[in-house]
Amino acid sequence: MVTKADPEKKKKKAQVPFRLNVLFLVVFFLFSILILRLGVLQIVNGEEKRLESEAVEEVIARKEAPRGKLLDSNFREVVGNKPFFSLTYTKTVDTKTEDTMRIATWLSKRLGVTEDQEKKITERDKKDYFIAKHDIKELMEERLSKKEKKLSDKEQYKALVNKISEEEINRLTSEDLKILAYKRAMETGYAYSAQRIKTNLTNEEVSIISENLADLPGIDIMADSERIYPYGESTIFGQVKQIPKSKMDYYLSRSYDRSDQVGISGLELQYQEVLRGTKEKSVYLTNPKTGATIGEPRTIPGQRGKDIVLTLDMELQFKLEQILEEEILKAKPLPGNDLLKSAYIVMMNPNTGAIRGIAGKKYEKGKFINDSYGALFNSYEMGSTVKGATVLSGLHKGLIKKGDTFFDTTYTKYGMNKSSWKNMGNINDLDALRMSSNVYMFHIMDQMIGPEHYTKTYEEARYMYSQFGLGVETGIDFPNEATGYRGIPPEGELGTLFDLGIGQFDTYTTIQMVQYVSTIANGGYRVKPQLVKEIREPTTDGENTGKLLTRFEPEILNRIDVEDEYIERVQQGFWQVMHAPGGTAKSYFDDVEKYRNPAGKTGTAQRRIIDPKSGRVVEKHNLTLVGYAPFENPEIAFAVVVPDGTPVNGNQRINKFIGQRALEAYWDLKKKYGENAATVTGNLTKEKEETENSAQ
């Protein structure tokens, strides 16, 4: 029996193929996309991805960051950075000579060349350029002998260079030399090391380069800087230059690049690791087999170096330098001062070791040279200023007692014929310091001579002096501090032993002298001199100072092995020098209100030097002065050294004039800015300091 088909069933059967077709179409479409993508990866990007899959090495190119700043104790910038833009080139191991030549040609036409760039071009550079302009294979074929052609590639090239004539390199045009200037700079650096090829770019040059960076592989514009000195340069600050060859291995072992700028002297060297910025890094993926770079580098931003805050007050520093210059010019025309040309002064807090000012000036060829460095490295016989240490040694060892008297007249023992600057009659230890007796010191040194051999006394005396910082490193935070010269005593002669006791045998530096007088001023504690008091994070816009990272506290190096009563005795003697009748500096420092009741000691040391004009040996004198103020509660100590002057007819006064004016300048600045401000501008508030300290 025939029945009719169910319409609903027919409809359902018709819908199934349609859905399958749609499904097949979608699957086909997805597979097509997948195949297309695989084709792109394999055909278009296959080589790059293959290399990338093999890239197991990262090569990092670094760009220098600006150095940290140096700020004075009042947070005024004394060494900063002048920003500018530099053009850099980073070559890779697969950089080709033709690429370098193309970019150098492009740059020379659009940027021009400075005189400094042209000066660096050597004759060898010109020969290399001549070869690069020609077909090197043809040149070798034409110019090398059969024997030379059998040499290694390197030796063949060397032989070819020698065959380039002077006439040929002289035919290079001015355009050739411009191209060569850039090519030379681009090839100087090492692979993956950003090399400066032009500095101080103009805005127009920056714009031109920026618009064409895509066509200049390896070329970049780097924010750069150079050191500036708002208060003038100083040898204490130091210099920044490219790594010296002698230090190359040292810095390379510490992850520096050969083209880096580093501190080579002064505080720039001492605090190199602090002032050094964190470099911007460009991380390249490289193929370990071919060395080829893959893709664009990944950039990690850098940061400016940390700032250091000095103990120096630049306003006082400027005053001290001015005082030295003016007093040298006033003293030079006086009879006997024809060879006087330099002077040094250091002012330091005797309780903390903070150097408030350190100045040195040298007058040569009609102009002054900044020689603050000399206060740390030039050593001299200091004369009577060291007699405080001699008296203390005598008291401590029981060689004399407080108040012991000797008759000051010409000393003739041991066949010597030595005397003080005048016969003083019966004097005690205080009189000896006040009037600066040599003979009293001779008696102390004579008592010190041991029963075995007098030469042991030298070491005994020097050990006592070293406790004050004389003849040893002071510990100042500065590279390669000098310690002075220890005289070599002639065998069997006692005269130089007595000279040692009056400061005319061993030599000392100005910084040693200020540490010595500070030790007496503060009651017997040898304090480490400090030029830096803080390290801070680099400042950002709108901030006077960055976050405090480190504060250097005062450091006691040793307590001298002398009883307090004896230190007080010498302190009293130093006070009499400047205030009691007959004191060698009374007429200069007895104004208690003006100089705040100072104490100290004058000194004059004979010195034999060669007169550069006559060639004869002449006698000159080092004129020195040490002191501190106020006497009751010292807050500033100072040492003045003026080599090669004369004491004739009172012309030795330059050391006292410098000391007068230095003390006056210090107190005037303190009065100007208030009791709480030996500091001037930019002091941090108490609240800010507490906030920073709690955040550490």
The answer to the question of residue 694 being in a domain is no
Q: In total, how many domains does the chain have?
A: 3
Across residues 656-677, what is the average pLDDT?
86
Residue 284 banded pLDDT, cuts 50, 70, 90: low
In the beta sheet, which residues pair with residue 242?
Answer: 261
pLDDT score of 307: 95
The verdict on 125 and 244 lying in the same domain is no
pLDDT score of 692: 42
The verdict on 174 and 129 lying in the same domain is yes
pLDDT score of 539: 77
Structure tokens at 488: 């070599």
Which H, E and C letters describe 511-563, residue by residue?
HHHHHHHHHHHCCCEEECCECEEEEECCCCCCCCCCCEEEECCCCEEEECCCC
The verdict on 350 and 428 lying in the same domain is yes
Closest-CA residue to 465 (of 574, 398, 390, 535): 390
The answer to the question of residue 687 being in a domain is no
The verdict on 364 and 510 lying in the same domain is yes
pLDDT score of 687: 34
Contact 601, 572 (CB under 8 A): no
Across residues 666-670, what is the average pLDDT?
94
pLDDT score of 666: 97
Across residues 302-309, what is the average pLDDT?
89
Strongest mean pLDDT among 6-15, 327-336, 353-362? 353-362
Q: Which residues contact 423 (CB under 8 A, 6 or more apart)?
A: 408, 409, 410
Contact 347, 312 (CB under 8 A): no
The answer to the question of residue 11 being in a domain is no
The residue among 260, 289, 307 that closes a domain is: 307
The verdict on 118 and 256 lying in the same domain is no
Structure confidence by residue, pLDDT tens digits, 86-142: 888 888 777 787 888 889 889 988 887 877 788 888 888 888 888 888 888 888 888
Q: Are strands 70-71 and 307-310 parallel, antiparallel or unpaired?
A: parallel
Residue 79 banded pLDDT, cuts 50, 70, 90: very high
Strongest mean pLDDT among 120-134, 237-251, 377-391? 377-391
Tell whether the model's pLDDT for residue 370 goes beyond 80.
yes
The answer to the question of residue 638 being in a domain is yes
Contact 643, 608 (CB under 8 A): no
Closest-CA residue to 181 (of 216, 129, 242, 222): 129
pLDDT score of 676: 44
Percent of the chain scoring above 70 in pLDDT: 85
Closest-CA residue to 69 (of 539, 530, 543): 539
In angstroms, the first-to-last Cα distance of the chain is 101
Residue 214 banded pLDDT, cuts 50, 70, 90: confident
Q: Which amino acid, residue 318?
A: F
The answer to the question of residue 172 being in a domain is yes
Which has more confidence, 282 or 165?
165
Across residues 202-225, what is the average pLDDT?
85
Percent of the chain scoring above 90 in pLDDT: 48
Q: CA-to-CA distance for 329 and 322, rounded, in angstroms?
A: 11
In the beta sheet, which residues pair with residue 695?
Answer: none
Phi, psi angle pair for 642, to nearest 5°:
-130, 100
Task: Please tell me whether residue 441 adopts helix, strand or coil conformation.
Answer: helix
Tell whether the model's pLDDT for residue 682 goes beyond 50.
no
Residue 603 banded pLDDT, cuts 50, 70, 90: very high
Contact 68, 305 (CB under 8 A): yes
Structure tokens at 123: 């004759």
Q: What are the distances in angstroms from CA 334 to CA 324, 338, 413, 621, 622?
A: 16, 8, 37, 14, 15
The residue among 279, 307, 335 that closes a domain is: 307
Tell whether the model's pLDDT for residue 217 goes beyond 70.
yes
The verdict on 486 and 565 lying in the same domain is yes
Radius of gyration of the chain (CA): 38
Across residues 629-655, what is the average pLDDT?
89
Q: Which of 384, 393, 466, 518 is catalytic?
A: 384
Structure tokens at 313: 């007050």
Q: Which residue has the tokens 């043809």?
A: 138
Query: pTM, whole model, 2 decimals?
Result: 0.79
The answer to the question of residue 507 being in a domain is yes
Phi, psi angle pair for 611, to nearest 5°:
-70, 115
Within 10 A of 543 (CB to CB), how many other CB atoms are there?
Answer: 11
Active site residue 614: no
Considering Cα of 576, then 580, then 582, then 583, what sign does the dihedral take? positive
pLDDT score of 10: 53
Which has more confidence, 443 or 48?
443
Q: What is the mean pLDDT of the chain?
A: 85
Structure confidence by residue, pLDDT tens digits, 545-568: 789 999 999 999 999 999 999 999
Residue 689 banded pLDDT, cuts 50, 70, 90: very low
Tell whether the model's pLDDT for residue 680 goes beyond 50.
no
The verdict on 522 and 615 lying in the same domain is yes
In the beta sheet, which residues pair with residue 525?
Answer: 559
Tell whether the model's pLDDT for residue 259 goes beyond 80.
no
Across residues 623-651, what is the average pLDDT?
91
Structure tokens at 231: 């208060």
Domain, as residue range, for 443: 314-673
CATH assignment at residue 205: 3.90.1310.10
Tell whether the model's pLDDT for residue 651 goes beyond 80.
no
The verdict on 443 and 563 lying in the same domain is yes
Within 10 A of 54 (CB to CB), how many other CB atoms are there?
Answer: 14
pLDDT score of 696: 41
pLDDT score of 526: 98
pLDDT score of 101: 87
CATH assignment at residue 642: 3.40.710.10
Q: Which residue has the tokens 């950039």?
A: 299
Structure confidence by residue, pLDDT tens digits, 354-368: 999 999 999 999 999
pLDDT score of 84: 86
pLDDT score of 41: 63
Contact 659, 627 (CB under 8 A): yes
Q: CA-to-CA distance for 114 and 655, rounded, in angstroms?
A: 49
pLDDT score of 9: 57
pLDDT score of 434: 97
Residue 71 banded pLDDT, cuts 50, 70, 90: very high
The verdict on 199 and 114 lying in the same domain is no
Contact 72, 304 (CB under 8 A): no
Across residues 389-415, what is the average pLDDT?
94
pLDDT score of 403: 96
The verdict on 281 and 143 lying in the same domain is no
Tell whether the model's pLDDT for residue 2 goes beyond 60.
no
Residue 63 banded pLDDT, cuts 50, 70, 90: low
Tell whether the model's pLDDT for residue 480 goes beyond 60.
yes
In the beta sheet, which residues pair with residue 225?
Answer: 83
Across residues 507-526, what is the average pLDDT?
98
Across residues 265-271, what is the average pLDDT?
95
Residue 381 banded pLDDT, cuts 50, 70, 90: very high
The verdict on 72 and 147 lying in the same domain is no
The answer to the question of residue 18 being in a domain is no
Across residues 612-617, what is the average pLDDT?
87
Contact 361, 342 (CB under 8 A): yes
The verdict on 373 and 415 lying in the same domain is yes
Which has more confidence, 549 or 242?
549
The answer to the question of residue 522 being in a domain is yes
